[in-house]
Structure 1
């Protein structure tokens, strides 16, 4: 069973598409797309153990770093470029984002919302960086180096003139409305087009 954000992406990707999954982890999304929609899926993953797990599933995954290796991909070489729960870990998320939209005709971006009410409450009442189900690491061992919110991301894409084709918001494992998503959503998924 796919993570809820990955399930949204899997449901939305068109059958027979060419997909690049950046930060693909163990390849769960790629395998689902291949097996259910006949998608030609490729992956880029930084962690060697995840690369090995994905390759053992028969997937085409290479080890690489989104911050440095996306520049090598040609323009518009994929129908979709996917960046799921990876944007906040990039050293230069703006550069990674630009490559994503250059490489793919459309791009999915999903991320944990650092403005969710539980995160705010943890800071307000406990005075400490939150540890939640979606943000399970402590401040000193987290891979998250850029804390993005739904409203930050909306402003970021608006400033760049990027078209938002779809947006989904999750609270727990369930979808929630876009109303007050910056406060209510734990996780966001956006489908974008240049």
Structure 2
């Protein structure tokens, strides 16, 4: 289904597997989207928690790229093959179709050129998985409208002067970007403030209002 024509999508739910309660909500959704044994690149992989989850639960051939030296060291300490790199500059070095999935988890809003980064994800991988905090959530809107201040929430935890986020976007903004780059949306999910996927196929504007996070499975159009 193309982003241009999609008014609603059946949500990507959480996998029914034991022992996942400690995993981050968006990580559990991503786990349900990745096939066993796939080649995976996790861009902005942080401490490697998602990569480790995919390795342990799906047996993926996983690689990671992480900007911070602390994150790289944490990954290496857990036996994860991760290199230090910048999504804005280093993705251009990867060949086409090098991976089955390229994942950008809670990172696109911190990149300098989100459109270019998304285009590289779709070029490098057969599919791309992108998750991000939704700046259109009603609590964010209320914070701006009522208090007149940049919001601090569970999914946007940093103050405006400390946040790494430089391109806040909403779910509808991201759908528009998918349309712009010609990406096809295969699966999508909005997670509520409790981290639970919304269980019904709803119009984008409702997801945009009540979804605290978005998770999208994409492929080239």
> What stretches of structure 1 of length at least 5 have no aligned partner?
none
Q: Matched residue of 1:134: which SS? A: coil
1:175 to 197, 209, 212: 197
Find the counterpart in structure 2 of residue 97 from structure 1: 118
Q: Which aligned pairs between 1:133-172 and structure 2 lie closer than 5 A? A: 133-172=154-193
> Does structure 2 conserve the Cα–Cα contact (< 8 Å) formed by 1:116 and 1:186?
yes
> What stretches of structure 2 of length at least 5 have no aligned partner?
1-21
Find the counterpart in structure 1 of residue 129 from structure 2: 108
Higher relative contact order (CA 8 A, sep 6+): 2
Offset of residue 161 of structure 1: 2.1
Distance in 2 between the 1:91 and 1:159 partners? Answer: 17
Distance in 2 between the 1:7 and 1:53 partners? Answer: 21
- The reply to whether residue 187 of structure 1 matches residue 216 of structure 2 is no
TM-score if structure 1 supplies the norm length? 0.98
Distance in 2 between the 1:99 and 1:161 partners? Answer: 13
Q: Deviation string for 1:157-181 (max 9, x for gaps)? A: 1222211000011012111145200
Greater mean deviation of Cα atoms: 29-38 or 42-51? 29-38
More strand by share: 1
Q: Deviation string for 1:91-126 (max 9, x for gaps)? A: 011111111111100000000000000000000000
Q: Matched residue of 2:191: which SS? A: strand
Q: Matched residue of 1:175: which SS? A: coil
Distance in 2 between the 1:165 and 1:116 partners? Answer: 23
Distance in 2 between the 1:167 and 1:92 partners? Answer: 22
Distance in 2 between the 1:97 and 1:161 partners? Answer: 11
> Does structure 2 conserve the Cα–Cα contact (< 8 Å) formed by 1:168 and 1:178?
no
TM-score if structure 2 supplies the norm length? 0.86
Q: Deviation string for 1:21-51 (max 9, x for gaps)? A: 0000111111111112110000000011111
Q: Which aligned pairs between 1:78-93 and structure 2 lie closer than 5 A? A: 78-93=99-114
RMSD: 0.9
Runs of 4+ in 1 over 4 A off after TM superposition: none
> Does structure 1 conserve the Cα–Cα contact (< 8 Å) formed by 2:119 and 2:181?
no
1:130 to 136, 151, 154: 151
Q: Matched residue of 2:169: which SS? A: coil
